[in-house]
Structure 1
Amino acid sequence: MFQYDLPYYFAGLPFTSRQVPRKLAWLLARGEIRQVLKGVYVDVRVPDSPELRADALQLVMPPDAVVCGQAAAWLHGIDTTALSPEPTIRPQWTFQPRPTVDVRGLKVTTPAATAVELAMRLERPFALAAVDALLHARTVTLEQLHEASAAYFDPSGNTQAAQILGYADRRAASPGESWLRLRLIDAGFGAPDLQIRVNGPRNSYRLDLGYPTRPVDGRRLGLEYDSDQWHSGSRAESRDENRRTELESLGWHIIPVRRTDLWGSYPALELAVGAFLCQHPRLPRRW
């Protein structure tokens, strides 16, 4: 049997809930379809791709509208984790004039315009994660962002968007790293360095972020965002512990950070970092 011998829904193309109104819940419960974006579904065997995302948006976009906001970032290749706490993107469009590019037959705000608008409108942690992700994907540069921002706000001001563009860094490799960096900046510790390479006698390591130029008692502070996907289970935890032990021997104090440490209400992260750096964090937390 070939991989796709079984029938697709609508030949493997995305479809809306109106096309299968009585069977939608049944198909979802059986795990035969998944939601691509709000109100649009596809066979689970169809992999995510730029083509699929564009086809899904084509089903719900009004004629002559411009895809914008989170939907535009998603179409430019950014995963939903960087854009929203919700796992599924909502279609977003505008009829207002915007700088646009053609993406598989859709008019979409340019990566620079998309990043600036998200920096203005998303909650701060997701604003930074989205801009970092667009920079990391090399769909836009910082220079292009600053040029585009002049059409939206005064780049020299102290608005949220100006702050986010000032913090943005293409070296951030995941939304968790962006959130963690923002927490450290908000606490008054200053912007940490990113993707720090540490060479040992047997292995070389790369730390998500840290403060290599601020040693305390001969040790430097490094922080690592440990996602649930890659750092859960006894084998992963043992590997991480061995890694931290060797980094300690190389003069690094490592603070591992999980998603619950970033989104909980208690400022344990700020207190731990402040205790090492001998600096009172700026509290209360901003998010």
Structure 2
Amino acid sequence: MFEYDAPYYFAGLPFTARQVPRKLAWLLGRGQIRQVLKGVYVDVRIPDTLELRVAAARLVVPEGAVVCGRTAAWIHGIDTTALGSEEFVSVHWTRESVETVEIEGLRLTSPVATAVELAMRLPRPFALSAVDAFLRTGMADRSALRAASAAYEERPGHHQSQDILRYADRRAASPGESWLRLRLIDAGFGVPELQLRVDGADRVYRLDLGYPEGTVDGRRLGLEYDSDQWHSGPRAERRDEKRRTQLEALGWHVIGVRRTDLWGSYPALELAVGAFLCQHPRLPRRW
């Protein structure tokens, strides 16, 4: 018997390596397994834990290598949405001398080293959302990131990393808020305030970000990222409309922004904000 004919088992059922593609499709279709890392699958009954992520990486990372990049960020607990447009994380590893930590016997770049690398290498919107996420976890702070980035001064991407670290903010509560903030900064509107508190008659409101200085008509501008998960459907839309009507009465004009507004090709967002702030946006868009 050839080595590749040795049986694999899932739920007690044997199959050979030659049957893997067909079996994977069958098991995925039946909802019995899920993909946790590109090329690595697990029984759906197994919870997503640090131990699972480390075990998955061990299956595909060469012996003696150091896990880095998006894979290291994923193991450190950063949401894949903040790391790129791909649903599942690819495997990244290095043999270079870098600052490392060890988790469950697996060597990977430290949170600070990982955040600096992503600030240099990811596309700008994902670079910012990744660094914001690291700051939000408390595993890294901005001063430590700036100090660590000095060692990469001659490396490609260093200029971008300095730009990203200048605007990174732990108060961003989601990747969408990070992307929205970068769009406003790129358009020349200045850095918006984050997590704005608005006191109402009987409740306190929180706005994702905005410009609290009064404009020509005395109103202030707030913007909110409306994710599909929490802001879809008639009930959610009625709730959002009621809330924004209440904020309007308190002197705030609120613009709700969807993912399609951020990633579409037309600069409708910049034009709407520019019209309210009486500023010409800086165009064309950078991303």
Give TM-score scaled by structure 1 length: 0.91
- Relative to structure 2, which stretch is displaced further, 100-109 or 269-278? 100-109
Task: Please give the secondary structure, in 2, of the residue aligned with 1:215.
Answer: coil
Which residue identity lines up with residue 140 of structure 1 in the other structure?
A: A
The 3 A distance-change label for structure 1 pair 10 and 130 is farther
Which residue identity lines up with residue 170 of structure 1 in the other structure?
A: R
Q: CA deviation at 1:164?
A: 0.3
Which residue identity lines up with residue 153 of structure 2 in the other structure?
A: F
The 3 A distance-change label for structure 1 pair 158 and 89 is closer
* 1:133-144 matches, cutoff 5 A: 133-144=133-144
Q: CA deviation at 1:213?
A: 2.5
Tell me, yes or no, if the aligned pair for 2:120 and 2:158 is still in contact at 8 Å: no
CA–CA distance in structure 2, aligned partners of residues 53 and 192 of structure 1: 36
CA–CA distance in structure 2, aligned partners of residues 45 and 285 of structure 1: 44
Question: Across the two proteins, how many residue pairs are aligned to each other?
Answer: 274
Task: Please give the secondary structure, in 2, of the residue aligned with 1:272.
Answer: helix
Tell me which residue corresponds to 1:74. 74
Task: Please give the secondary structure, in 2, of the residue aligned with 1:42.
Answer: strand
Q: CA deviation at 1:215?
A: 3.2
CA–CA distance in structure 1, aligned partners of residues 45 and 271 of structure 2: 46
Task: Please give the secondary structure, in 2, of the residue aligned with 1:183.
Answer: helix
CA–CA distance in structure 1, aligned partners of residues 231 and 183 of structure 2: 21
Tell me which residue corresponds to 1:26. 26
Which residue identity lines up with residue 284 of structure 1 in the other structure?
A: P
Q: CA deviation at 1:236?
A: 0.4
Tell me which residue corresponds to 2:3. none
Which residue identity lines up with residue 237 of structure 2 in the other structure?
A: E
Q: CA deviation at 1:242?
A: 0.5
CA–CA distance in structure 2, aligned partners of residues 121 and 18 of structure 1: 37
Tell me which residue corresponds to 1:3. none
Tell me which residue corresponds to 1:163. 163
Tell me which residue corresponds to 2:6. none
Tell me which residue corresponds to 1:5. none
Task: Please give the secondary structure, in 2, of the residue aligned with 1:256.
Answer: strand
The sequence identity of aligned pairs, in percent, is 71
CA–CA distance in structure 2, aligned partners of residues 21 and 229 of structure 1: 32
The 3 A distance-change label for structure 1 pair 25 and 178 is same
Tell me which residue corresponds to 1:225. 225
Tell me, yes or no, if the aligned pair for 2:176 and 2:225 is still in contact at 8 Å: yes
Unaligned runs of 5+ in 1: 1-7, 12-16
CA–CA distance in structure 2, aligned partners of residues 259 and 249 of structure 1: 27
The 3 A distance-change label for structure 1 pair 260 and 103 is same
The 3 A distance-change label for structure 1 pair 158 and 101 is closer
CA–CA distance in structure 2, aligned partners of residues 111 and 18 of structure 1: 39
Tell me which residue corresponds to 1:265. 265
For residues 103-133 of structure 1, what are the alpha-carbon distances to aligned partners after superposition, in whole Å with 9 as ceiling and x for unaligned? 2211111111111110110000000000000
Q: CA deviation at 1:21?
A: 4.7
Q: CA deviation at 1:216?
A: 3.3
Which residue identity lines up with residue 51 of structure 2 in the other structure?
A: E
Which residue identity lines up with residue 276 of structure 2 in the other structure?
A: F
Task: Please give the secondary structure, in 2, of the residue aligned with 1:216.
Answer: coil
Tell me, yes or no, if the aligned pair for 1:9 and 1:42 is still in contact at 8 Å: no
CA–CA distance in structure 2, aligned partners of residues 19 and 52 of structure 1: 25
* 1:179-218 matches, cutoff 5 A: 179-218=179-218
Following TM superposition, where does structure 1 have runs of at least 4 consecutive aligned residues deviating by more than 2 angstroms?
8-11, 17-22, 213-216
Q: CA deviation at 1:9?
A: 4.0
Tell me which residue corresponds to 1:107. 107
Which residue identity lines up with residue 84 of structure 1 in the other structure?
A: G
Tell me, yes or no, if the aligned pair for 1:184 and 1:270 is still in contact at 8 Å: yes
Root mean square deviation, CA, Å: 1.9
Give TM-score scaled by structure 2 length: 0.91
Tell me which residue corresponds to 1:94. 94
Task: Please give the secondary structure, in 2, of the residue aligned with 1:56.
Answer: helix
Tell me which residue corresponds to 2:235. 235
Q: CA deviation at 1:46?
A: 1.6
For residues 207-254 of structure 1, what are the alpha-carbon distances to aligned partners after superposition, in whole Å with 9 as ceiling and x for unaligned? 000011243311100000000000001110000001000000011000
Which residue identity lines up with residue 23 of structure 1 in the other structure?
A: K
Tell me, yes or no, if the aligned pair for 2:152 and 2:158 is still in contact at 8 Å: no
CA–CA distance in structure 2, aligned partners of residues 78 and 53 of structure 1: 12
